[in-house]
Amino acid sequence: MIDIVNPATEQVIGSVSPGDVDAAVAAARAAQPAWAALPRAERAARLRALLDGLTEAAPGLAELISAEMGAPLPVARKVQVGLALATVQSMAELLERPEEPERIGNSEIYREPVGVVAAITPWNYPLHQTVAKVAPALAAGNTVVHKPSEVAPLSADRLAELVRAAGIPDGVYNVVHGYGDPTGAELAGHPGIDLVSFTGSTAAGRKVAALAAPNLTRVALELGGKSANVILPDADLAVAVKVGVANCYLNSGQTCTAWTRMLVHESRHDEAVELAVAAAAKYTMGDPADPATRLGPLASAAQRDRVLGHIERGLADGATMAYGKAEVPPVGYYVAPVVFAGVDPDAAIAQEEVFGPVLSIIRYRDEDDAARIANATRYGLAGAVWSADRDHALAFARRMRTGQVDVNGGAFNPLAPFGGVGHSGYGRELGVHGYEEFTAVKAVQL
């Protein structure tokens, strides 16, 4: 049995037992042809029913996720559950539109299901990341074997109940609990899997791709990030820093797209640090259920220790801790928010994914220098740019080697393709691009 620990109370709140990968893959293979053969409108109706079930279950799901991984309740409601609802709705809507094959000369191009999908997900947005795979995979006519994170697996069981209640046949969505190794590894290397969709760390993603390779199984990887928030000299510094700090600390910094590097012109560095420190001081730590809490605990003791190790390394490498070392609640895996100032862009703290509430402020000399620094990590998942001149910001956004960029705080769009380049992985989730990830292209010549 794997115990599930509430990271705010350090109490065991449940347990799961490792599942049988072979049995789950066999169930998914058996169910796939009939599921794919259902008319589009029928699959859409089942997704609508799932959306209704999820909507009704949303308050309880938010509490469950908050309890298993520590997100403050408003974040759990709005982001953790809210994004999952938006994704199911978008996939139902997509299916409700008639299929219109693309025409190229005398060919019609169809999008067909890949077959059986292995979905392997992390603990930071457990339901959202699951639904970002399961909803499009099911919409396209695939069946799924899902291995949730061993740290936060409880929402997957709840999702399975809702899938069944929505009239989605047995075998279409299967949950297999277990650790990454052996259970996740067994799934990634299973010959009965047609596509592995993985979200997690770059290190595990690399292993998953290697395990899938002998079977020539398709792989989509959503991995880590070290995203840059570039504040150009003419930007409204107060707004850019405030939004930047909020983005970095969301979900206690356990967000793959977090803007963990704030790039500021050298003439405005000290002013930016002052603003960031003032913003960080407002991040009250505490009970995720308390409405005053803005920063919950990290998801596990291991994650807390990893983050503390990164902070120590940052200090040892000479970064200035402009804010940090605040008192943390006596129980729970809390880490106080940190603002590092004057960070060397090549230092480990500016290169490695911390996955905690740690912001590094980096000076740049001019715009070319800013673009060079922004692009000088192995990662390329997200990013931001701020300028009084939107076109200028857009031109800079085009220079950033990354999967998505927000200009002047542009809102997250749940229909836009989501994914990375470089060590942030390959493949796209969400919207039409996310749907297409779970399809195979067929050309029919007429």
Binding site for ligand NAD (CB under 6 A): 120-124, 129, 147, 149-150, 179-181, 184-185, 188, 199-201, 204, 207-208, 222-225, 256, 353, 355, 381, 420, 424
Closer CB to ligand NAD, 333 or 364, in the complex: 333
- Minimum distance from CB of 109 to ligand NAD (Å)? 28
Tracing tokens 């603002």 back to the chain, one arrives at 339
Catalytic annotation on 248? Answer: no
Order of strands, sheet of 439-445, starting from the edge strand that comes earlier in the sequence: 102-104, 107-113, 439-445
Closer CB to ligand NAD, 55 or 201, in the complex: 201
Closer CB to ligand NAD, 43 or 190, in the complex: 190
What DSSP element (H or E) covers 310? helix 301-316
Cα gap 144→132, rounded to integer Å: 12
- Minimum distance from CB of 145 to ligand NAD (Å)? 12
Tracing tokens 């990968």 back to the chain, one arrives at 21
Phi and psi dihedrals of 437, rounded to 5? -55, -30
- Minimum distance from CB of 219 to ligand NAD (Å)? 11
DSSP bridge partners of 313 = none
Residue among 222, 353, 429, 437 flagged as catalytic: 222
- Minimum distance from CB of 420 to ligand NAD (Å)? 6
SS3 439: strand
Task: Return the DSSP state at 10.
Answer: -
SS3 118: strand
- Minimum distance from CB of 377 to ligand NAD (Å)? 13
Structure tokens, 16: 């799961």
- Minimum distance from CB of 302 to ligand NAD (Å)? 9
SS3 of 22-55: the string is HHHHHHHHHHHHHHHHCCHHHHHHHHHHHHHHHH
Tracing tokens 């939004």 back to the chain, one arrives at 243
Closer CB to ligand NAD, 146 or 265, in the complex: 146
Closer CB to ligand NAD, 113 or 425, in the complex: 425
Contacts of 104 by beta carbon, 8 Å cutoff, 6+ apart: 443
Residue among 150, 186, 248, 256 flagged as catalytic: 256
The sign one gets for the Cα dihedral 78, 79, 84, 90 is positive
Radius of gyration of the chain (CA): 22
Closer CB to ligand NAD, 175 or 256, in the complex: 256
Reference 340, options 255, 250, 406, 248; nearest CA is 248
Return the active site residues. Answer: 222, 256
